[in-house]
Amino acid sequence: MNVNANNPAGETAPQAAVAFDIRHISVEQLAELGMSRIAYVKPVQVDGKNGFAIHAANGAPMALTEDRDVAIAVILQHEMVPALVQ
């Protein structure tokens, strides 16, 4: 059975937006906000060497690179939006 019969190119359909009242957002919901779309790049020092850490929107570490441009390229390759943090 071809699950992509109606979509031969294999493109994914846009996800429906979830409605919620932003004034009553929980800490957990806030941490998950942007999880699949935003990644943060932060300059760090590891073992005395400068580098750039890539973190998910909830702060979870995802990767470490030696170069900021490489960190941004990795994020873009994963179809996410980079955000720089100082």
pLDDT of residue 64: 96
Average pLDDT over residues 21-48: 81
**pTM of whole model > 0.85?**
no
pLDDT of 79 above 80: yes
Q: Where are the domains of the chain?
A: 37-84
Q: Report the mean per-residue pLDDT for the chain.
A: 79
| Radius of gyration, alpha carbons of the chain | 17
- CA–CA dist 35, 19 (Å, integer): 17
Of 84, 70, 75, nearest in space to 36 by CA: 75
Average pLDDT over residues 27-38: 72
What is the distance of C-alpha 20 from the center of its chain? 21
pLDDT band at 19; cut points 50, 70, 90: low
